[in-house]
Amino acid sequence: MAFDPTKAPVDYILLAGKKSPGIAEIDRASSLRTWDERRGYGLSGATTIFRGVRLAHFIVRLRLYTAVDFASWAEFAVLVQRPPTGERPRQLEIWHPILEDLGITAVGVEELGQPVQTRDGEWTIEIKFIEYRKLQPALSRPEGAQAAPVDPVDRRIEELAAQVQVLSAL
């Protein structure tokens, strides 16, 4: 189901099950696809080869306003801090309706910005994420443009009409 902010606004993300502090804003989340174009010498047009879905890179901005927001940030920040030397960074489950619509369910932290005062009484922290998704085979060549779907009832009528023609020819 597509996200409708007019009916049920969501101003937070869930990261590893923890609710983000303040007001969360998602920016530049997208579903990127890779295609190869193959052209022939002296020919017009091209064939396309689907190479797969690329990983999304997006930003979550947390706007903090109150002492409660900053106290919540101190707890939440543990999730996005730099991993200790010698340890691998963890991939984290993430949820927001916008990300859910794009199929983004897990992320790694690419960059954590400092708190910046963006207005009087408002501090903003930017967190850049990269989507995490296991590898899957994806190379395929389209068979052509898809026509309108055939109605199964119409298909059955055509099959029966063909049978009637064969029987009437006997």
Q: What are 23-52's pLDDT values in tens digits? A: 999 999 999 999 999 998 888 999 898 888
Q: Please tell me what DSSP assigns to residue 91.
A: P
Residue 56 to residue 130: CA distance in whole angstroms: 6
Looking at per-residue confidence, does 145 or 163 come out higher? Answer: 163
Average pLDDT, the chain: 90
Question: Does 53 have pLDDT greater than 70?
Answer: yes
Residue 150 to residue 157: CA distance in whole angstroms: 12
| N residues, the chain | 170
For 23, half-sphere exposure in the C-beta direction (CA atoms, 13 angstrom radius) is 7
For the record, the structure tokens of 125 come out as 């922290």
User: Under DSSP, is residue 14 helix (H, G, I), strand (E, B) or coil?
Assistant: strand
Q: Residue type at 106?
A: A
For 133, half-sphere exposure in the C-beta direction (CA atoms, 13 angstrom radius) is 17
For the record, the structure tokens of 105 come out as 């369910």
> 97-118, pLDDT tens digit by residue?
999 999 999 999 999 999 999 9
* Global confidence as pTM: 0.77
Of 73, 77, 66, residue with least CA distance to 112: 77
In this structure, the dihedral spanned by the alpha carbons of residues 104, 107, 113 and 115, taken in order and rounded to 10 degrees, is: 70
Helix, strand and coil in the chain, % to nearest 5: 20, 35, 45
Residue 106 to residue 104: CA distance in whole angstroms: 6
- Cα angle for residues 66, 70, 76 (degrees, 5° grid): 135
